[in-house]
Every structure is written in C-alpha cells, then in structure tokens.
Structure 1
C-alpha cells in the first residue's frame, strides 16, 4: 500500500470514527432544537471554522509557488468556476441528505436508520456503472460482506418500510450521489475550500427551512452548544473535509466501504460512552464489517 493511499485510508477512517460518535451528539442536540435548526447551525459553524484554514493554506500555497517561481500563474486546483460549482453541488447534496436523515430519524429507530443510511455502500458502485466506472469482483464481494455485517449490527426487527425508513432510504441515495460528486471535484479543486463552500451553502439552505418551519431561540441553541459544536466543528468542519481530501485518488466504492464503518463506531461508542452492551450478533456484524474493509484494501486499484 502506497504512502498516499495509506494517508487517504487514515483520513477516511478518522472521518468514519467522528461520524459514528456524532450519532450521540445528533440525538442529544435534538432534545433542545428542531432538525432544521440543528442542521443550519452545525453547517454554518462548520463553514466558519474552516475560513481561517482556507486563508492559512492559501497563504502557504502562495509561498510554495514563489519558491518554485510559479507565483504568476494560478494553479488548476484554484479555478474559481470549478470551485464554486463543486461547492454548490456538494452543499446542495449535503443539505438534502442531512435534512432527510434528521427528519427521518424522528419516524424510525436509530438502528434501522443506521442500516438504511449505510446502504450507500451498494448504491455507490451501482451509480458507478452508469458512469462507466466498473468495480472488480473483490469489491462486490466486500460490499456483500459489509451489507451482511450491517444487517447483523443494526437490524433486529422486520425490514418493513415506514415513512421514516423511506426518508432515510432517499437520504442514502443522496449520500451516495454526494460521494460521487466529491470524487469528481477532488481532482479539480482545493479540498478545504470546497468543504468550506459546501457547508456555508448547506447551512444557508437549512436556515431557510429553519425560519419557515421552526421557531429558533438563542437560549435553546445555547443549551445545545456541546452537541452542536461537536457536530459542527468535528463532524462537519473536520470530518467532511477529511472525506474530501481522503477521497482524492481513492475509488469511490472503496471510500464508501471505509466510511460505512461509522455504523460500527456508533455501536462501539454506545458501548464505551454509554455503557451499552454488545450482543454476539452485533460483535459478528462488526467483525464482518472490518473484514470487508480489509478485503477491499488488498492491492487497491483506482478504477477509471
């Protein structure tokens, strides 16, 4: 495994860990504010904390250009048109995905929501077929193993589709599209800038719904400061940025497999942080999930 690919794997794995623990923050935050308010504040916060990072990285890049004698020419990755289009599209898909997820969770169980959301691991390679991006047999085997692991990990009841389940299913499709869009733009634009724009745009769209359908109060937002800060700074600002950077040069199907570990982490977080016990069925599900990820990492190859 190359050093670059190892770095991408680590960034995507950290993303999955942060997202997995974020389920606790999302649940706690909803005790104080509505889903649109929660999403609006977390996304805007995520974008704001990235602004100084953008300035710092841009300044560092300009210094490197001067050393290389190329300061007069703007690099391809900073083209404003690609950056703006990519940020708006990614931001819109994030807005739709997170909104459907937050609303859908209110009408279904967290376990079923986690399982259905993670179905993007099968949706991503299916979408890849239409984009002439073929996944090898080993990847499809990994996806099937991961799906079985997810089922054992998250599902304890029937597979009947309720209103909330349907919303989460649409959310899963949107997350898969988001992964594909990120894969398209990561080779063209700066990851940090792209992430910053997508958060600010997603936060702006969520703010519209917040004022239309909810009555936000600063006191309620202040009471939920801890889960909002975690969801905004870590889950949004850090994790989604790591996703964008980590996906550069990584096959989107493999990336989705790594990111799906958030379901495993959410169960482990409940065990470690909340004292919840793990059943043998859940342990087997975790083992299968990790096994699927390891199988996908053996001699990974970017599919064109």
Structure 2
C-alpha cells in the first residue's frame, strides 16, 4: 500500500510539473502544434510500455496474483470508444493549452483540478447519485475559484475562463473513460485516444497556425517532458500503483497535482500567487478533499451499520 501511494504521489508531481512545460512551450509554438506533437509522441511512446504491461500482467496471472482476468473487447467497438475519448480529450487539451498562453501554471493546475468535484455533479446526467459531501465540496471549491480567479468586477480572465471550461471537458473525459474502460484494454484505449487527439491537434495546427521547424525544436524539451514523462511514465506509474491502491486514496493523492503545479511554477518560472490566490487554492483543495472523503466515510459508516 505504501509503495502504491508513493508511486501515485510521483505521478501527481509529474502531472503538476507538466503545466510548467506546457507554459514554456507556448513561448515558441502555438497550442495546436504543441498538443499535436506531444500526443503523437506520447501515444507512440506508450506502445512499448503497453507491451511491457501486457507481459507483466501475464506474469502476475501465471503466479496467481491476478484472478478472474477476462479478455477485453476489440474491433469496431474499441475504435468507436477511442474516437469518443479522443475527441473529448482533444477539447479539454485544446482549451487547457490555449489557456496556458494567458494564465500561470499554478492557477492552471488548480482550476483544472476542479474536474474532481465536477465529475460526480455531471454524473447526475447519467443517474449517478451525488451526496451532501459532493455538494459541500463543490461549494467550497467554488469559493476557492472566486478567491483565485474572479476579479473585482466579477469577471474571469480569459485564460482562467478557458481553463474552467476545459475542466468540464476533463470531467466529461473521466465519465466517458469510466463508461468504456471496463469493456476495453485501458492501455490500448489510451494509445488510440492519444493518437486521435494528436491527429486532431495537428489538423488544427495546419489550419490555424504556421508550423516552423526551428521553433518546434526550441520547444522540444518541454514537448518531450509532457509527452514522455506526463503521458508515458506517469501513466505507467498510475496503472501499476492502482493495482493495489484504494480508489479513494488514489483520487486524493492524485489531486495533489494542483499543489505540485503551483510549486513548479514558483521554482521554475518565478510565478507568485497573491495571499488571496493562496487562500483560493486552499479552498479548492479543501473542496476536492471533502468531495472525496465524505462520501467514503458515509459508505464506511453504512457498511459498518449493516454488518
């Protein structure tokens, strides 16, 4: 359990610091170009990792560590699921990447992390129940968003607004993944959705941007960090860690991604949040934790009462 939690914490640190890489990349190339190259490299880099995971799972199955291992579906159904996931991912990624031109890595990390609260609320459309803890957490996170991003004239900056809309797409992506993942191999699904997102982003780059190879090379360090570390390494660590970690623990640990985004922005880009902004971050983090912890505590209490 401790090993899994440490791996999840490393995953959150990589994802959080990737906001800095995304921010730096915008100094040289457009958001579509950055996302296109990032996800094409990331998807291709996952192929050998997928082969290793398959080999590892086969060994675990042979040892009897994994039981009731059922083969996943493939074919046309997998392609359709990958297209849906890839399109939703493309929407979230595009909004996030464009927003990074106008906002800081730290604020981007915290606003994006609101998807953790939005998932159960948006799940109401799929007849998923949201308890009092979720609503309380959402309210506290909303107060945090106000402190972090709302100006004196009660408006959001352009970058923060795009990041907030993107959070809804990240929440939708979580819901879609939750719907299709049980049917298909999650690693293969990830590879295909990353490649689809990359192709769509490159299409946007061709239409809306001018791709200059020299500028791409200037941004290549930040692209490779986001593509290989955030996509390949972090994803692999998450898959391995969640074999043994509790889902509630995993969600809480991964939510620390936002704090790592602020820390990385401060250390690398000299980004500084105001006291008001720091309070906003604290409220958002509290709201996220409450939305995760209270439903879990209520479930445990009900289980204990039944037993």
TM-score, normalisation: structure 2: 0.76
CA shift, 1:167, in A, is 3.9
Contact 2:117 2:137 survives alignment (8 Å): no
Distance (Å, rounded) in 1 between the aligned partners of 2:284 and 2:98:
27
1:282 deviates by 4.1
Q: Distance in 2 between matches of 1:100 and 1:276?
A: 21
What residue is the counterpart of 1:193 in the other structure?
Answer: 188
Matched, 1:59 2:55: yes
Is residue 22 of structure 1 aligned with residue 18 of structure 2? yes
Shift of 1:228: 0.6
Q: Give 1:82 shift.
A: 4.5
1:46 aligns with 2:52: no
Offset of 1:118 from its aligned partner? 4.0
| CA deviation after TM superposition for structure 1 residue 119, in Å | 4.0
| 2:90 matched residue in structure 1 | 95
Secondary structure of the corresponding residue to residue 188 of structure 1: coil
State the superposition RMSD in angstroms.
3.7
Distance 1:65 1:243 in 2: 19
1:125 aligns with 2:137: no
Query: CA separation in 2, counterparts of 1:96 and 1:139?
Result: 25
Counterpart of 2:210 in 1: which secondary structure?
coil
- What is the deviation of 1:128? 0.8
Q: Quote the residue 2:303 is aligned against.
A: none
Corresponding position of 2:212: 217
- Asked whether the equivalents of residues 192 and 241 of structure 1 are also in contact (C-alpha less than 8 Å), the reply is no
Question: For the Cα contact (< 8 Å) 1:21–1:269, is it kept in 2?
Answer: yes
Query: Which residues in structure 2 correspond to 1:50-199 (within 5 Å)?
Result: 50-62=46-58, 75-77=70-72, 79-106=74-101, 108-110=102-104, 116-155=111-150, 158-161=153-156, 167-199=162-194
Preserved CA contact (<8 Å) 1:264 1:289? no
Give structure 2 stretches of 5+ with no counterpart: 301-307
Partner of 1:170, secondary structure, is helix
Residue 263, structure 1, aligned to residue 258, structure 2: yes
Q: Please tell me whether the aligned partners of residues 120 and 176 of structure 1 are also in contact (alpha carbons under 8 angstroms).
A: yes
Q: Cα gap change, 1:90/1:55 in structure 2, threshold over 3 Å: closer, same or farther?
A: same
